[in-house]
Structure 1
Amino acid sequence: MGLLRLAFDGFHQARARLGEYLSAHDTGAHAVAIPAAETIYWACVLDEQLTSNGGYKTVRGRAIGDVMRGARWVRNRATHALPLTVERTGGLSLPLQVPITIEPVVVRWLRADRLPPEPPEYVDAAGRTAYDKTFADRPVNDPVEDLAQWFANEHGRRGSRLRGM
């Protein structure tokens, strides 16, 4: 139960830090990249700890399999290739063009084709597809909140190893 608790707490603490960085008005993608990667790291560790229970894996596959697979894919990209996996978009930029529209500033996950390629021995085409489907071009917090909601549901599921925490 010790590693499971560590992963559960790590995910929620990293998610809180990500929220703090996202709410800071002058935060750029570089500042958000660290808590975003950390949050995804802990989500994957928590998922891996829970996967030892066959019932969890079956339920997860139906409910949030693509998001978790996308999270694992970007976690591997972030830890092995050390790319910046997010970018800040929107705001005012020069030169101005008429008509002027100012998009809100948002930090988004990059598309897979903008990240370094996987080494040939670690290609995960299904993971890349899942990432593009569930993370790419979305605000950083959106898939993180999907994961948080999943873990909250799992926490309440009868038979879940999270239920006792």
Structure 2
Amino acid sequence: MVTNIPSEPDMLAIAHLGFHVARVRLNEAVSADRSPHECFVPAMEALYWAMTLDEQLSKLDPKYRDSEEPGRRLMHGMRYARNQATHALPLLLERSEEGLTFPLSFPLEFVRMTWKPVEDLPVPERPSARQERCYRELLEGETVRKTLDRTADWFSWQQQYGDVFSRTIIPLVPSARGDESSEKA
């Protein structure tokens, strides 16, 4: 019989683990050139876990909530994406077959998933100029894997230097990228 189950789950730890596991599955799906559906599911799951982690950090840490750091702006852009796609997740991303681009990064990808232009997204129910601006600047046309790598870097920075995250989370494996390059996809 298990008796050490906490009465209240540590949402930071759960969200961090969920984000990491979804990124690993996304990287595996994209690298194996799986169907769009098999790529969309872990991509959207990673997006949702990232937003859960961001929301928890915002509630617990006023410095995090009020930050204008690039990583926090990335979170605003991702929130715009999440808010616009709640009822139509695959409509947020598109796959393109571009061939090689230079400089090369490994593993090579011939099919890429990118964030769609704002004009192609569902109409916002509750518009947010800041979130839309951050989406346009930091996500629009960018590959999903690169965005999630940058998100992971932001959370890693928060683990090392943040006021709340660093005290509550056990570090995961160093990278879900397969190597240490942040310019993968």
TM-score by length of 2: 0.73
C-alpha distance after superposition, 1:116-160 (max 9, x if no partner): 1112xx112221221121111111111111100000111111533
Report the RMSD for the aligned CA atoms in angstroms: 2.1
Gaps of 5+ in 2: 1-8, 100-108, 170-185
> Which runs of at least 4 in structure 1 moved beyond 3 Å after TM superposition?
80-83
**Structure 1 match to 2:5:** none
2-side partners of 1:83 and 1:104: how far apart?
20
SS at structure 2 position matched to 1:107: strand
| 136 and 29 in structure 1: CA distance in 2 versus 1, 3 angstrom threshold | farther
Residue pairs, 1:6-155, within 5 angstroms: 6-25=14-33, 27-52=34-59, 53-58=61-66, 60-90=67-97, 104-119=110-125, 122-155=126-159
SS at structure 1 position matched to 2:114: strand
2-side partners of 1:147 and 1:14: how far apart?
13
SS at structure 2 position matched to 1:61: coil
TM-score by length of 1: 0.81
| 4 and 164 in structure 1: CA distance in 2 versus 1, 3 angstrom threshold | closer
Paired amino acid for 2:44: A
User: Alignment length, in residue pairs?
Assistant: 151
Of 77-86 and 9-18, the range deviating more from structure 2? 77-86
